[in-house]
Structure 1
Amino acid sequence: MRDVCWRCRRPRPVCYCALLPSLPTRTRVVLLQHPRERRVGIGTARMTHLSLPNSELHEGVVFEEDPRIMALAADPTTAVLFPGGDPDPAAGPPVLSLLVVDGTWWQARKMLAVNPRLAAVRRIGVTPRAPGNYRIRREPRPECLATVEAVASALGALEGEPARFDEMLRAFEFMVDRQIEHQARSDGPRRRSRGPAASPLGPLRPYLAAPERVVLVEGGANSGWPADAGAAGPRSELVHLVASRASGERFEAFLRPRRPLGPSVAHQLEVPERRLLDGEEAGAALARFRAFVGPGGVLGAWGAFTADLLAQEGLGRPPSLDLRYLCARHLRRRPGGVANGARALLCGEPTEPAEPTPRGSGRAGRTLGWLEVVLARLLDLAGEEDVAARGAA
């Protein structure tokens, strides 16, 4: 077993404790660390906590029953540090407590989603004075810095002393440089790698830094006509379409049936029949959907059903990800429906997955909510594989 420093929990040769400052602050910094992030050796929440005497470090996913965190969430002088928040934190009401969600981009979004009182707290962001230095880990957006970088920048703005909090970055820079050196001089000949595709989740790697490129989509069809109806052509047509992005954008369209509505379609899709009959013209709805996907969008769906419907409607075959296939490859078994697949992927997580918020009407909207859970988990797993592969290189 390696000799590990009890304080920073890093191997002794790369211990950064000697570089840690002790910086008093007016602002109470409260770090909320996702349990999976605690196991990441190159994480920076503990480094941040050790640098700030006026700080707390809590581990968990759901804090709704935590009296300390809920008391802070109810305090008007508390703010949450999160990408996309107010970029000028010193301009609003004074911030005496700063809640910092520590995890991957998807873990952080999930933590806010399952903590509604935390999600309702005022959010502040930071505008980096320079590009982030987290060269050993990918960040999804330029403003998504390492936790220690984001906290140093926020405290500099809140307390009006940016240079003083730059001292927090010395240990961080040391850790990054040592990790890169270790990767460059790893012992023995490098094994030939088959590349990212060797991993079951390899197809997701291009989207780790830009998850908003994946457009999750689910469709509902008008089908079930009697065999003697005499209608030529395909037996199904798209009548309901919902989609979403990681950025929070949503799309929904009801397409007016071009054939008689099947007798049980409205019941199966769990939407009022009148909404289907009063839907918009198919060409207009699909034009809106093309604009929503955009030139760089990649469709993500559970199986091929929705992609087939879209192709049948003349949309062609845009780049796509079959999340059912990726889920099956990771689990090494058939996942069943999307809800079962999501629960299987989250098996062993600190919290049992709850029914997600529907992202549209009827059954399609409910399925889309589960698809968001599946994609978030698969991206987390792909990111962890990527970090592990680069660390072992």
Structure 2
Amino acid sequence: MSEPEPREVCQRCWRPARVCYCAHLPSLETKTRVMLLQHPRERDKPIGTARMASLCLPQAELHVGIRWDDSKVLAQALANRDAPPVLLYPGEGARDVLADPPKGPVTLFVIDGTWSQAKSVVRDNAQLRALPRYAFTAPKESEYRIRREPKAAYVSTIEALMLVLGALEGDPARFEALLAPFRAMVDMQLAHIGSGLRRPGVRKPRPPSSLADRVPAILRERTANLVCVVADANAWPYADRVEHPDELVHWAATRLGTGETFERIARPQGDIGPNTILHTRLDGSELSGGVPRSQLFDDFAAFLRDDDVLCAWGHYAPSLYRASGGSLPEGTVDVREAGRRFLRGKVGTLEDFCARQGIVADALGRGRAGARLGQLAALTRKLAMTGRE
């Protein structure tokens, strides 16, 4: 059987030529600077709308990634006094952008991805969490007929920008033009599906994978060098995050190859948050008696070896460490993502995953961080040993 000829792809919208929407793209100048932060898993979705929005808005920038606390692009946008940054994301303390838009030009940060992906991006980036939040309730259901939204009130990224920019710029009618390429894409996609012209392709059977194949090779090959790290913060409610951003107060680590552990409690530089003691499981005297944060950083730098490989559950711990002024080696292994690949599905919390795997671990330090470090080390060791039995 001969291989099908490759499809012609538009180099502007990255869609197959037969469903290219470029002829419908408007060019809408804005006083608002739009920063689209796209989750990497959304980048290759053929019917996503963030790229479409960036092509319509000359003052928009599209960036792909998860962790932004060390980004020069983010730092420059956050420092823009002429257009102060705000975050389009729901949550406690968020203001209704349609009813009460901010005054004057702003830099609008928009997270593009599924709700789960957007939640992880905001959770793992302290500087984004600290921004003033705005949200809205869509006046009608999404027109995204080729992609199912989790709830009827949810809309696509470009539909959200149509509503929000209309409010920010004071001209809702002008930004309805954003829906022209969106509607064209939806209509062409539905017509293409209905015509039966979708390329059937010939799927090659997927060879069965071993459990070891589902685990990052670095966990098996560098087990002796793996250093698991866990962090806790002096964290305030979202409504107070601008005045009280998260600050690192507890850092714990263990080297799997030797069993060495590291633990420091850093004295909070600001007031202790109302839920910090309950969350960290440390009492007030432990927190107030902690070392200066600079000493924590110096001591951990002395603990690390040149060939160590850091492992963390998600990106929060290393992001918090860096956002609080510390420096870490690049290339942290995300054990949560490794677990997702191992299970080929959702893993839940660290505690949930350990329970499902039958892991019962002793704490390797004080408080919540010590308990989680024991769980993370046991789980990482189990994943690293997968396939060796």
| TM-score, normalisation: structure 2 | 0.49
